[in-house]
Amino acid sequence: MHFLYPAFLFALAALAIPVVIHLFNFRKYQKVYFSNVQFLREVQEQQASRRNLKERLILAARLLTILFLVLAFARSFIPGSNTVNSGKQQALSIFVDNSYSMQTLNKEGSLLDEAKRRAKEIASAYSINDRFQLLTQDFEGKHQRLLSRDEFDDAVDAVKISPQSRTLQQIINRQEGLLDEQQGVARSAYIISDFQKNMAGGNTAKANKSVHYNLIQLTASELPNVAVDSVSMLAAVHRPGENEKLVVKLHNYAGEKAEKVALKLIINNEQKALGAYTLDAHAVQDDTLSFSGLQSGWQRGHIQLQDNPVTFDNDFWFTFNVKQQLPVLLIDGGTENLFLKAVFATDPFFAAKRVTDGNVDYASLGAYPVIAMSDVRTVSTGLAQQLKAYVNNGGTLVFFPADEADLANYKDFLQSINAAWPDKIDSVSAKVSAINLQNPVFKNIFESYPQNPDLPSVKKHYQLSSAARGENLMELPGRQAFWSGYNSGKGKVYISAVPLNDNYSNLQRHALFVPIMLRIALLSGHDQPLFYTLGRDESIEVPPVQVNEKQVLKLIRGGHAIIPDLRQRGENTQLFISDQLQETGIYDLKRQDSLVSAIAFNDNRKESDMSYFASSDLKQIFPQAGNVLQPGPGSLKSAVAQLNFRLQLWKLCVILALIFLAAEILLVRFYNPGIQQVAKPV
């Protein structure tokens, strides 16, 4: 037997009081004189014996009454599996899952309402002197402290649904972060959740052995659910009035077939497409939606699904920018390249600007999605560094070597951006033998590819080194690279084996030259992503924005506005939003009254997967969990008390104290062994 409040055992000293009373027997006797007591001796002895029996029974009743009262106040119990040192203050961390999946209904209502009720029941099973931490998916700073029971109940009432979704290991680490600071107290933790399978994070959870963990699993009804996982645009650059194609990724998270799920595409509050889809159980399906008629500026897209009863993932938001013009920078060695100028003059969508290699405005390089460089014999150190940063940040560089170039200089520059470099001149005449139709540059260029195409002819060319790994757009006989593309950082580098010079080849006059250059330019768009995910993406990259002390950037949606942390990173501006955003939708990024960007935020689709761990699975992914409880319709208080104390005896002690108190009263009131009828002497 253990005691929750062993200090009350000092009250056992009160047992001496009835003993002292019994020993000294403070009753006063009245003397009665008899002339002859010969015949009364036997009767007196018999009465004294019965009176002693009564007094001993009363003494025993009093002693037992005091004993059981003391044991009741000391909160006696038979220890259970979670028992801590008796009388020791406890610190408890209780995690209440408030992710989107907790909106699911069961017989008790929503899972979140049940989780809040269970958290209060757990707290009520502990002493009023114990301290409690409330933890939710938000990981708020205000929850990094211990509360009294009343404060804890008030904090639980304020919990609302959150877009955050943490792994089990993250939750454990957060709980231990506060509990480890509590020295000299007993520490326990509870996790109340539906325990979706994505909560494991793919790893076995580990915890501090000094903290005893209990898992409270709430059971949700099995429900069908279809969601839009993501969207993507086929075109990298969007032009006014052109036909656009949006690829929508649908996912059926349920174990049964979904029939005719209605989908609606809305752009700028106008319906652009409509469809109905049937997906097999756990199937993923991509579908392409076409629309047109867009004007220049930021486009606000919204996909709506008609999928009940799980509705939190029925909306998907995205944004993209339709540009009025695409700026192109042409860099040359002093003589304007008429071929490149003519290429971009064919379409007013392209706004080409020509500069010499000595007059490049380095600060404005990030404003050009594509840079074409030609006839520069030596790349200066400053220009090389700036072009390297430009490509690493997502820019596209098309490089045509110069006649009589400084090959050593080329090697240093091109090798630094992970591209091949001209090694030496090959004077053997040849003809381009093949083009790579699988490369994105040639996609959708040909309606039908001829069997014997007329490809560029070459008089002489630079041999490109094979040290860098790239993908050839065009090849010479023997699989020699003629025009190749290389990934560098976030950007792309295209290297030609010939200058745009008639002495080397007819590439600049060939029919393929214009569509290839325009296609490279159109693929060079490096706009911001179509959407971000709440709870996962905490930093956002936008085009360079210059602000001063009097100007701040704000994310605004309706009446809600936040000021993100702003940092300049290379050619881009990076915004850090942390956990300031809690609602999905499209936010306008504004500087004063001018619109900088439109940014879409969606929920984390991990919550859409309505598959849950079984109790046996939870013990495998979290071996240190002491107990896994699946509460029924009754209160969780008794179950938690039984885990901690197994069997509490204070109620039994109170009952026994009352019984012995009643026995004492009955003995005093009705048990009179001294009254007997005796014969009077003659």
Q: Kindly report, as residue ranges, where domains of CATH 3.40.50.410 are found in the chain.
A: 90-222+610-645
Residue 150 has pLDDT above 90, yes or no: yes
pLDDT tens digit sequence for 360-383: 999 888 889 999 999 999 999 999
Helix axes 41-73, 16-24, angle to 10 degrees: 170
Q: Structure tokens of 561?
A: 């506005």
Q: d(Cα 246, Cα 532) in Å, to the nearest integer?
A: 17
Average per-residue pLDDT for the chain: 85
Give the per-residue pLDDT at 5: 67
CB 151 within 8 A of CB 137: no
Lowest mean pLDDT segment, chosen from 160-169, 271-280, 388-397, 562-571: 562-571
Is the model's pLDDT at 173 over the cut of 70? yes
Angle of the 637-645 helix axis to the 111-124 helix axis, nearest 10: 40
CA distance 312 to 352: 46
Token pair for 289: 């939606």
Query: What are 168's two structure tokens?
Result: 């089990």
Asked if the model's pLDDT at residue 675 lies above 70, the reply is: no
pLDDT higher at 544 or 355 = 355
**Would the pLDDT of 681 be above 60?**
no
Tokens of 158: 């304020």
Stretch among 118-132, 267-281, 443-457, 654-668 having the lowest mean pLDDT: 443-457
Angle formed at CA 380 by CA 375 and CA 384, multiple of 5 degrees: 95
Residue predicted with more confidence, 202 or 512: 512
- Full strand arrangement of the beta sheet holding 560-562: 532-533, 594-602, 585-591, 553-557, 560-562
* Burial of 637 (C-beta count, 10 Å sphere; 0-12/13-18/19+): middle
What percent of the chain clears pLDDT 90, i.e. is strictly above it? 41
Whether the per-residue pLDDT at 86 is higher than 50: the answer is no
pLDDT at 241: 87
CB of 171 closer than 8 Å to CB of 145: no
Could you say which DSSP state residue 197 is in? G
The CA angle 487-488-489, to the nearest 5 degrees, is 120
Question: Has residue 128 got a pLDDT over 80?
Answer: yes
pLDDT tens by residue, 341-362 = 999 998 899 999 999 999 999 9
Residue 494, φ and ψ in degrees, nearest 5: -115, 125
Fold entry, domain 90-222+610-645? Rossmann fold (3.40.50)
The per-residue pLDDT for range 204-230, each reduced to its tens digit, is 888 888 888 999 999 877 778 899 999
pLDDT digits (tens, 9 = 90+) for 229-248: 999 988 878 889 889 999 99
Handedness of CA 445, 449, 454, 456 (dihedral sign): positive
Evaluate if residue 551 carries a pLDDT over 70: yes
CATH of region 226-323? 2.60.40.10
Identify the weakest region by mean pLDDT among 78-87, 166-175, 536-545.
78-87
Residues of the chain with CATH 3.40.50.880: 326-522
- At position 509, the amino acid (one-letter code) is R
d(CA 313, CA 262): 14
Q: pLDDT band for 571, please (50, 70, 90 cuts).
A: low
- The CATH 2.60.40.10 domain(s) of the chain lie at 226-323
pLDDT at 674: 56
SS3 59: helix
* d(C-alpha 332, C-alpha 337), whole Å: 7
Q: Per-residue confidence at 254, pLDDT binned at 50, 70, 90?
A: confident
* Average pLDDT of span 16-26: 75
Is there a cis peptide before residue 309, judged by omega within 30 degrees of 0?
Answer: yes
Contact status, residue 224 vs residue 104, Cβ threshold 8 Å: no
Q: What's the CATH class of domain 532-602?
A: mainly beta
Q: What is the C-alpha separation between 384 and 87, in angstroms, rounded? A: 72
The percentage of residues in the chain with a pLDDT greater than 70, rounded to a whole number, is: 88
The region of weakest confidence among 8-22, 480-494, 513-527 is 8-22
- All residues at 6 or more sequence positions from 150 whose CB lies less than 8 Å from its CB, including other chains: none
Residue 505 has pLDDT above 90, yes or no: yes
289-293 long-range contacts, CB within 8 A, separation 24+: 289/245, 289/246, 289/247, 289/248, 289/265, 290/243, 290/244, 290/245, 290/246, 291/243, 291/244, 291/246, 291/265, 291/267, 292/241, 292/242, 292/243, 292/244, 293/241
Lowest mean pLDDT across 82-96, 135-149, 457-471, 594-608: 82-96
Calpha distance 534→619 (Å, rounded): 30
DSSP result, 330-357: EEESSS--HHHHHHHHS-TTEEEEEEET
Taking the CB of residue 279, how many other CB atoms lie within 10 A of it? 18
Contact partners, residue 321, CB within 8 Å, separation at least 6: 238, 297, 298, 299, 527, 597, 598
Q: What is the pLDDT of residue 273?
A: 92
Q: Note the helical H segments in 528-624.
A: 615-621
Task: Return d(Cα 66, Cα 11) in angstroms, integer.
Answer: 9
CA distance 265 to 25: 97
Q: In the Cβ-directed half-sphere of 630, how many Cα atoms lie within 13 Å?
A: 10
Over residues 397-406, the pLDDT tens digits come to 999 999 999 9
- The CATH architecture assigned to 326-522 reads 3-Layer(aba) Sandwich (3.40)
| Higher local confidence (pLDDT), 452 or 406 | 406
**Tokens at 167, concatenated:** 């792994």
CA separation for the pair 414, 430 (Å, rounded): 25
- Residue 481 has which token pair? 């690279």
Q: Which amino acid is at 243?
A: N
Written as one string, the DSSP assignment of 501-531 is -TTTBSGGGSTTHHHHHHHHHHTT--PPPS-
